Amino acid sequence: MACGLQIKDEESSYNKNLFCIPKHYEEDLERVFIPHGLVLDRNGECLARDIIQDMGSHHIVALRVLKGGYKFFADLLDHIKVLNQNSDKSVPITVDFVRIKSYCSDSPTEKINIIGEELSTLNGKNVLVVEDIIETGRTMRALLSKLKDYKPKMVKVLSLLIKRTHQSSGYKPGYTDKFVVGYALDYNEYFRDLNHICILKEKAKEKYKI
């Protein structure tokens, strides 16, 4: 599994006053967790290169899990395309989407429905599943198990963030137990219009409650 930026406990977040934050969110955010520039740099310099190295010998299908993470997905794909098109051994890269509906979510083996996509196109391809945030890992496990039915050549998962949570299924240790927003990560659809990944204040959860 390819991983995102690894933030250690001793590496603290940043004072939000150092950054350009939209006025309408100033009061809602505690700190800047990962500045926009840092995400872009890691996407381009590190992740995209790793992906091309690991998967670039064969047709890649980038599979976006809806509806989160469109910024991460789009930026990452831009970087992958640049590396791929400048390579002597470039391969086709296509894009697909899955929307997942989970049920029995408190059982350790989650059941999911994949909604509205014809995934037989994954047969024989190198599939890169892109998520914005993995929390317990149960949905991802269930998705990976379903994808096997379509007989892809290879499946890799890439997540921008992996949460540290007591509910984790043990799928992968995490980096944060805070609720984070920005870079298209939302809280009830708000904060997608914030560039930096920021830590949401507890009281803002009340404000944007639905």
Q: Which residues bind ligand HPA (CB under 6 A)?
A: 133, 135, 163, 179-181, 185
Q: Which does 65 bind (CB under 5 to 8 A by kind): Mg ion, ligand HPA, none?
A: none
Could you give the CA distance from residue 148 to residue 146 in angstroms, rounded to a whole number? 5
Binding-site partner at residue 147 among Mg ion, ligand HPA, none, CB < 5 to 8 Å by type: none
Partner residues linked to 199 by β-bridges? 31, 180
The binding track of 160-189 with respect to Mg ion, each residue x by CB under 5 A or -, is --------------------------x---
Residue 55 · residue 94 · CB < 8 Å: no
- Is residue 44 helix, strand or coil? helix
| CB closer to ligand HPA out of 77 and 191 | 191
CA distances to 43, 152, 155, 208 from 55, rounded to whole Å, are: 16, 12, 9, 40
Q: How far is the CB of 39 from Mg ion (least distance, A)?
A: 17
Partner in contact with 70, chosen from ligand HPA, Mg ion, none, beta carbon below 5 to 8 Å by kind: none
Amino acid letter, 164: R
Which residue from 54, 168, 186, 201 is spatially nearest to 132, judged by alpha carbons? 186
Give the nearer residue to ligand HPA in terms of CB position, either 90 or 102.
102
Give whichever of 14 and 179 is closer to ligand HPA, judged by the CB atom: 179
Task: Considering the complex, state which of residue 15 and residue 103 has its C-beta at the smaller distance from Mg ion.
Answer: 103
- Residue 69 DSSP SS3: coil
Identity of the residue numbered 173: P
* Shortest CB 192 distance to Mg ion, Å: 9
Nearest residue by C-beta to Mg ion? 186
Taking the C-alpha atoms of residue 158 and residue 72, their distance in angstroms, rounded to an integer, is: 10
Look up residue 45 and give its DSSP letter.
I
Within residues 107-126, the interface with Mg ion by CB under 5 A covers none
Which residues bind to Mg ion, rule: CB under 5 A? 186
